[in-house]
Amino acid sequence: MTVLGNVALFAGLLSAVLSAIVYYRSAVSRKSSPLPGRLLLFACSVFVLVASLILLGRIVAHDYSVGYVYSYSDNALPLHYLISSFYAGQEGSFLFWALCSAVIGIFLYRSTKRRGIESPVMAVFMTVEAFLILLVVVRSPFRSVWEMFPGAPATPPADGRGLNPLLQNLWMVIHPPVLFIGFAAMAVPFSMAVAGLWKRKSDLLPANALSWLLFSVAVLGLGIMLGAYWAYGVLGWGGYWGWDPVENSSLVPWLTGVALLHTLLAQKRTGAYVRTNLALALLSFTLVLYSTFLTRSGVLGDASVHAFTDPGAQIYWLLLGGLIAVTTAGAALLVLRGRSFRVEETRGGILTRETTLGLGSIALLLSAAVVLFGTSLPILSKTRVEPAFYDATNLPIAVAVALLIGFSLFMQWEVPDPRATFRGSLTSLGAAALSSLILVVAGIRDAGALLLIFTALFALYVNVMKGTLALRGGWRLLGGKVAHAGIAVFLLGVIATGRFSSKEQVALQQYTPQTVLGRSMTYTGATQRPDGSMVFSISVMAPGESYRLSPAMAPSGGEGVLRTPDIASSFMRDVYVSPVGLESANVTGASTAAALSPESLVIDASIKPLISLLWGGTLVMMAGFVLAFVKRSKES
């Protein structure tokens, strides 16, 4: 079966290359039919699917003669974790990405055929697909256990090494495939941008890419936030986002993709931002490849807990070569062909909607540049950027984005009307100011936090008001308003939990109640599971509250320890407790009773106010993207 898997990969690679060649010939010659390219596209998709099913079958069958199966699964894993073992390692994740791209290619072919742009777009897209399959061929998941682990016994192992305990979580079953679907879909605007430059069609991108771009940024954004939710509930670092380089590397193309979304809307309405949109479409997919290089080349092995550390020299140079080729080809096309496009400049001054959309995109690009700088710094030096740097630099950008979200809805296309903009904004500005004043009276004095709260509330009030009015025309008109309202709520959650959380590290002596963050916490003992992990029981009591938390610790190879927090969630706050370690209870100054306790548990406890707004805002934002996608799909 593994031989058949490798044959399917080689056949898929050959089909993808031939499909790209046929589509290229069809794009440059009217006498050449694209039909063979379509057939080869279908063949490529079938071969990639067959290879994927073979690998999944070997995992479910516990065939440990396959090195990849041995490395990432074991006999005790339930079915859903066996499925997630498919993309737990480097080889399987590349295969899954190629599979997602193959499926998207079938839908893309149908769309581009209908619009008369099949050959140039699919020639580019199938080249990307060929590159993805090449990565899998070079580092095949079907290598034997003896090839991957020289010196292994002659008979196949009876059990596998197992899945990383951190990945044995429902959200990590969902998060990676969602992220890869977003990465694969980002190749569509890229392919359309290259085809537009190649065929000198400045309207190809805005006329065809908007629905695909909405899909890609929605799915990629959802994947990022699923990863954040997993980190919050599983990693014991105390938060949902640590500005880890691998986290950042997936965020940057999302930011540029959202920037492109706004300037594409402006181009469709006014003809502005032609070259800007082509550049952003090229840049967004280039950053997807750069993200892949950072994550999988090993260059961030010492800087990130998420990065693969041993990709092999072939994968390293293939990823680097692919990144250089895409960057160089894109830049050359933009310089040589982009200058021939007639560019419609924005008219009417700064107080028009298209100019505001451009300014919002600039703000998002500034944020992307800041994050990209901090993420890439460990490659250039041993210096790491602290999370405080990202927080400080992104705060004014977030304020600017919130203001632009609010004011833009009171502006007209191409014709500025400052008085109308100001009059329309007064109600929402007043409501936001009053709400902020109430917070000042309540004791909040953080100027930066108050500024972001004021602007986020302004954006929220504007979009709720405009959304209510738009509802009369049907729910499909609500996409942008709902997405922007979600962003405003998300920002409120970010600032609430980021600036107003309280944290305390304390040693809880067994059976001795202690006041921690205004609550009585009592460590009542620990239970050891068969896998060696320790689950601690902590009773928590406060006025109107009584519950039990069960954080855990588990060995993680060598002297490593995995710390899993437990969280008591409510709308107003989360009580978050993460174990640090056990220590002797013979603490200086402790009472005799306490000193007799066999041990005490050191914990990091924190109160995270209104973090529910962050998760709720994310869901609202995703709902807005879905509404906008449905509307655009119906129109096309």
* Local structure of 530: helix, strand or coil: coil
Confidence of residue 409 (pLDDT cuts 50, 70, 90): confident
Burial class from Cβ neighbours inside 10 Å (0-12, 13-18, 19+) for residue 531 reads exposed
Q: How far apart are CA 22 and CA 33, in angstroms?
A: 8
What strands lie across the sheet with 566-569, from one edge to the other?
502-509, 600-609, 573-583, 566-569
Please compute the mean of the pLDDT values over residues 20-25 and round it to a whole number: 96
Find all residues with CB under 8 Å of 49, minimum gap 6, and list them. Answer: 99, 102
Burial class from Cβ neighbours inside 10 Å (0-12, 13-18, 19+) for residue 113 reads middle
β-pair partners for 515 = 520
Give residue 612's pLDDT.
95
Please compute the mean of the pLDDT values over residues 156-164 and round it to a whole number: 88
Secondary structure element (H or E) that encloses residue 573, with its range: strand 573-583
Find all residues with CB under 8 Å of 332, minimum gap 6, and list them. Answer: none
Please compute the mean of the pLDDT values over residues 574-603 and round it to a whole number: 66
Residue ranges per structural domain of the chain: 1-162, 502-554+561-585+594-613
Residues 164 and 88 sit within 8 Å (Cβ to Cβ): yes
Residues 410 and 417 sit within 8 Å (Cβ to Cβ): no
Please compute the mean of the pLDDT values over residues 565-583 and round it to a whole number: 91
pLDDT surpassing 70 at residue 49:
yes
pLDDT digits (tens, 9 = 90+) for 212-225: 999 999 999 999 99
Give residue 270's pLDDT.
85
pLDDT digits (tens, 9 = 90+) for 305-335: 454 555 567 788 888 888 999 999 999 999 8
In which region does residue 532 sit, left (phi positive, over 0), alpha (psi from -120 to 50) or beta (all else)?
A: left
Which whole-number Å values give the CA distances from 350 to 93, 124, 359, 513, in the listed order?
A: 46, 37, 9, 61
Structure-block tokens of residue 493: 């959650």
* Local structure of 443: helix, strand or coil: coil
Number of helices (H), then strands (E), belonging to the chain: the values are: 21, 10
Q: How far apart are CA 220 and CA 225, in angstroms?
A: 9
Confidence of residue 209 (pLDDT cuts 50, 70, 90): very high
In which region does residue 581 sit, left (phi positive, over 0), alpha (psi from -120 to 50) or beta (all else)?
A: left
Q: How far apart are CA 579 and CA 581, in angstroms?
A: 6
* Local structure of 105: helix, strand or coil: helix
CATH of the domain spanning 1-162, picked from 1.10.10, 1.20.120, 3.30.70, 1.20.1070 = 1.20.120
Give residue 594's pLDDT.
39
Percent of the chain at pLDDT above 70?
Answer: 92
Q: How far apart are CA 339 and CA 451, in angstroms?
A: 41
Which whole-number Å values give the CA distances from 199 to 121, 338, 484, in the listed order?
A: 10, 11, 35
Give residue 592's pLDDT.
36
Please compute the mean of the pLDDT values over residues 84-113 and round it to a whole number: 94
Structure-block tokens of residue 328: 């160089």
* Closest of 9, 180, 5, 3 to residue 84, by C-alpha: 180
Q: How far apart are CA 183 and CA 629, in angstroms?
A: 17
Please compute the mean of the pLDDT values over residues 139-155 and round it to a whole number: 87
Q: How far apart are CA 143 and CA 9, in angstroms?
A: 13
